[in-house]
Amino acid sequence: MAAVLIVFIAAGGVLIYATRSHGGQNVTIDLTVTGGTKMNPTDSTAHQDDKVTINVTSDTDGEVHLHGYDIPFEAKAGQTVSHTFTADKTGNFLIEWETTSTELGHLVVT
């Protein structure tokens, strides 16, 4: 009986560990903004403690702003601008075209 209990506990521990999210990974997110009104993809994800690099390419000059982390991306038409940061906060963070407050999408950190 004790052996069965030990096997059960060990298997449960392995399953819990395997399904848990593991932050601390390198994550690269490539975003394309069109006309300051649309972004592809609209939603991106990361885990807490991931090292996140966001690359923004836009066809229009302007600021793409990641709220919550307060990171501005000063977009220049046809160029890519990048920021790397540690995702130390969890939540659903708005990404917007700053000058018009147009919602482009979200970064979800779990």
Q: Where are the beta strands (DSSP E) in 16-79?
A: 26-34, 38-40, 43-46, 51-58, 62-66, 71-75
Q: What is the DSSP letter of 84?
A: E
List pLDDT tens digits, range 60-71: 999 999 999 999
Domain of 56, in residue numbers: 24-109
Q: Tens digit of pLDDT for each residue in 16-60?
A: 544 455 689 999 999 999 999 999 999 999 999 999 999 999 999
Could you give the number of structural domains in the chain?
A: 1
Rounded Cα distance between 49 and 26, Å, is 9
Residue 6: inside a domain = no
Q: Is residue 46 part of a domain?
A: yes
Backbone angles phi, psi at 97, to 5 degrees: -85, 110
Tally Cβ neighbours within 10 Å of residue 26.
9
- Evaluate whether residue 9 is within a structural domain: no
Residue 65 belongs to a domain: yes
Which CATH number characterizes residue 49's domain?
Answer: 2.60.40.420
